[in-house]
Amino acid sequence: MKELWTTMASLMGVLAFAQTLLHTVIPPELRFAVLKLFQRLFNCFSSYCYYEITEIDGVNTNELYNAVQLYLSSSASAAGATSDRLSLTRGLNSSVITFGLANNDRLSDVFNGVSVVWEHIVTPRQSQTFSWRPLPEEKRGFTLRINRRDKQPGVLENYLDFITQKADEIKRKNQDRLLYTNSRGGCLDSRGHPWESVPFKHPSTFETLAMDPVKKAEIMSDLRDFADGQAFYKRTGRAWKRGYLLYGPPGTGKSSMIAAMANYLGYDIYDLELTEVNTNSELRKLLMKTSSKSIIVIEDIDCSINLTNRNKNNTNVSDMRSGPSGPVAPGDPEHNGSNNSMTLSGLLNFTDGLWSCCGSERIFVFTTNHIEKLDPALLRSGRMDMHIFMSYCSFPSLKILLKNYLGCDADDIGKEVLGDLAAVIDEAEMTPADVSEVLIKNRRDNDRAVKELLALLKKKMVDRRLRTVGEMEEVAEEEEKRALDSPKEVGGAATGGGGDDVEVDYKIGGEDEEDNGII
Ligand SMILES: Nc1ncnc2c1ncn2[C@@H]1O[C@H](COP(=O)(O)OP(=O)(O)OP(=O)(O)O)[C@@H](O)[C@H]1O
């Protein structure tokens, strides 16, 4: 045994000596050429093709390297359970940890039925070549191995395109969303930007959103189709944007829905405060400074701008600010050539006109508690593609809230109580916000929470019934009164009253649309 070790040590010594001799006698260029020759010979007989993607391309960062790294991070995290070693990173502005291949580790992948192997190669950098910025001490790169028989034309290009697209998605998902606001009025920041941003950390998701599951699935699928629809929008010649109108009573989850949309798609939110915008051109500038993959929100649109009465004289926001008795503009600035106030027509151009297309993949969301107050032009399809009614708490929504706040499934509550809740929930007309309040307050005691909620729902239901009876009595009284007076009024109503009303309503709608040139 001792002899064996002695022989091994001598052999190692000879090898080390030979290597030093080789390095001294043979110049590095020749060594490199010989190595290349061997590599070529090996490649000729190998059944694989190899592609190298280095981290630094010359002196520039290779974007493809970063994309591959991100793409592989999703596969690596899946393989995490089986792999012994993975590298972990967290990027700037990100709260998410990403997995990566550790040095010289391998990972297999399959794309369109083609199996490939990625290897992460890290070697010390030999010498610092001159460059305007210091290069990292290690040379990092990925080697992609593809079987020769799978090397069909276009396969590699398609695979790399797929990787780049996936990497973009992952980057967006990992990065914190931003919430922008224009609440500084027309003031610009030091970079000349009209929007101010803060990290957006709203935890609302479609999972936690209490609404009818069928409706929810429909909205999610619509959003997904939109986000994946670049080719569709290009083919059909449509601008890549979509409008959603969320309407319903306060506290039914309109803001929560917007947050869920942003979190689902990984989009930033631009919360447009219309009352801070003075002119149409200001609005246009704001639009130009929004980025793609974003949701532009105008909350409570009925309160922001006068949208009911699109008369030429009173449609601008400044009038709204001055109150009903405030100054009346001399005419619709969109039509008299002036551009010194903000009008409904300006807003419609913002969402629908040529300027709305300066960017792509953008969603417009308007919310209102009073849809009946909105101008029909705003509701027209093409402007607001989907009208989503956020309703009072229904039974399916209640089940989601019980899960959110009490952490229990409907079955855990007991059949009898569940039946009682189901019997009263619709008629009680309670908002998800009010239901949430009761559940939050009693979240440490599930039984108490459910009992208190049931009692409140019953009370609301009774109140509503009484209100309805009261209203019916009032109507009956009025009808009775009218019946008594009817011999005098029949003539008047028949000759003008009711008929005129209908005609005027109809006319106002039609004339306004044409006069303002909006539709
Ligand atoms: N559908 C819902 N699903 C889950 N939570 C909800 C829902 N609706 C309301 N809530 C809860 O109630 C609170 C208020 O809801 P939210 O602000 O989204 O309602 P809203 O309809 O936008 O109200 P408003 O019209 O007054 O702005 C939220 O913080 C959320 O916790």
User: Which strand ranges, in their side-by-side order, compose the sheet holding 268-271?
Assistant: 196-200, 177-181, 268-271, 294-298, 362-368, 241-247, 386-389
Confidence of residue 131 (pLDDT cuts 50, 70, 90): low
Q: Average pLDDT of 52-79? A: 79
Rounded Cα gap, residues 56 and 396, in angstroms: 54
Confidence of residue 1 (pLDDT cuts 50, 70, 90): confident
Rounded Cα gap, residues 252 and 390, in angstroms: 6
Residue nearest to ligand 1 atom 26, measured at CA: 250
In the block, which residue shows the tokens 């949430």? 436
The finding on whether 256 has its CB within 6 A of some atom of ligand 1 is yes
pLDDT at 96: 64
Give the domain 177-389 fold.
Rossmann fold (3.40.50)
| Ligand 1 atom having least distance to the Cα of 246 | 21
Q: Which of 209, 252, 303, 371 to mutate to test the pocket of ligand 1 (most atoms within 8 A of CB)?
A: 252
Q: What is the pLDDT of residues 298-313, one digit of tens each?
A: 998 887 666 444 444 4
Rounded Cα gap, residues 379 and 408, in angstroms: 40
Q: Give the orientation angle of helix 280-288 with respect to helix 344-352, to 10 degrees.
A: 20
Q: Average pLDDT of 287-295? A: 88
Query: Domain residue spans in the chain?
Result: 46-174, 177-389, 395-485
Residue nearest to ligand 1 atom 18, measured at CA: 253
| Ligand 1 atom having least distance to the Cα of 248 | 21
81 contacts: CB under 8 Å, gap ≥ 6: none
What was the ipTM of the complex prediction?
A: 0.97
User: Using alpha carbons only, what angle is made at residue 231 by residues 111 and 358, rounded to the nearest 5 degrees?
Assistant: 130
40-44, 167-171, 412-416, 510-514: range with lowest mean pLDDT: 510-514
The finding on whether 368 has its CB within 6 A of some atom of ligand 1 is no
The tokens of 32 are what? 């490199």
402 pLDDT above the threshold of 90: yes
**Beta strands 241-247 and 362-368, pairing class:** parallel
218 pLDDT above the threshold of 90: yes
Instruction: Say if residues 49 and 148 touch (Cβ distance below 8 Å).
Output: yes
272 pLDDT above the threshold of 70: yes
Instruction: Say if residues 410 and 402 touch (Cβ distance below 8 Å).
Output: yes
The finding on whether 346 has its CB within 6 A of some atom of ligand 1 is no
Q: What is the 3-state secondary structure (H, E, C) of 179-190?
A: EEECCCCCCCCC
The finding on whether 432 has its CB within 6 A of some atom of ligand 1 is yes
Taking CA atoms, 265 is separated from 40, 224, 295, 299, 324, in Å, by 47, 8, 10, 20, 41
Name the DSSP letter for residue 324.
T
Instruction: Say if residues 293 and 266 touch (Cβ distance below 8 Å).
Output: yes
Best CA proximity match to 393, nearest among 321, 461, 473, 345: 461
58 pLDDT above the threshold of 60: yes
Rounded Cα gap, residues 40 and 287, in angstroms: 56
Q: Report the separation in Å between the CA atom of 436 and the middle of ligand 1, taken as the mean of its atom positions.
A: 9
Which comes out higher in pLDDT, residue 511 or 161?
A: 161
| Ligand 1 atom having least distance to the Cα of 211 | 1
Confidence of residue 73 (pLDDT cuts 50, 70, 90): confident
Q: Report the separation in Å between the CA atom of 384 and the middle of ligand 1, taken as the mean of its atom positions.
A: 21
> Which range scores top for mean pLDDT: 46-60, 86-100, 101-115, 235-249?
235-249
Q: Which of 256, 269, 304 to mutate to test the pocket of ligand 1 (most atoms within 8 A of CB)?
A: 256
pLDDT mean across residues, the chain? 78
Q: Report the separation in Å between the CA atom of 379 and the middle of ligand 1, taken as the mean of its atom positions.
A: 23
pLDDT at 130: 54
Instruction: Say if residues 443 and 406 touch (Cβ distance below 8 Å).
Output: yes
Amino acid at 54: T
How many other CB atoms are found less than 10 A from the CB of residue 205?
A: 14
How many other CB atoms are found less than 10 A from the CB of residue 185?
A: 12
Confidence of residue 142 (pLDDT cuts 50, 70, 90): very high
Q: Report the separation in Å between the CA atom of 438 and the middle of ligand 1, taken as the mean of its atom positions.
A: 14
Taking CA atoms, 29 is separated from 35, 58, 272, 449, in Å, by 10, 20, 63, 80
Q: Whole-prediction pTM value? A: 0.66
Name the DSSP letter for residue 94.
B
| Ligand 1 atom having least distance to the Cα of 256 | 18
Long-range Cβ pairs for the range 147-155 (8 Å, 24+): 147/47, 147/48, 147/49, 147/114, 147/115, 148/47, 148/48, 148/49, 149/47, 150/114, 150/115, 151/49, 155/111, 155/112, 155/114
Q: Report the separation in Å between the CA atom of 434 and the middle of ligand 1, taken as the mean of its atom positions.
A: 9
Q: Average pLDDT of 200-225? A: 94
Q: Report the separation in Å between the CA atom of 460 and the middle of ligand 1, taken as the mean of its atom positions.
A: 19
Q: Report the separation in Å between the CA atom of 252 and the middle of ligand 1, taken as the mean of its atom positions.
A: 5
224 pLDDT above the threshold of 90: yes
167 pLDDT above the threshold of 90: no
Q: Which of 436, 440, 441 to mutate to test the pocket of ligand 1 (most atoms within 8 A of CB)?
A: 436
310 contacts: CB under 8 Å, gap ≥ 6: 344, 345, 375, 377, 512, 516, 518
358 pLDDT above the threshold of 70: no
Q: What is the pLDDT of residues 86-104, one digit of tens each?
A: 677 776 666 666 677 777 7
The finding on whether 433 has its CB within 6 A of some atom of ligand 1 is yes
Q: Which of 255, 273, 297, 403 to mutate to test the pocket of ligand 1 (most atoms within 8 A of CB)?
A: 255
Residue nearest to ligand 1 atom 8, measured at CA: 253
435 pLDDT above the threshold of 90: yes
The tokens of 307 are what? 């949208």
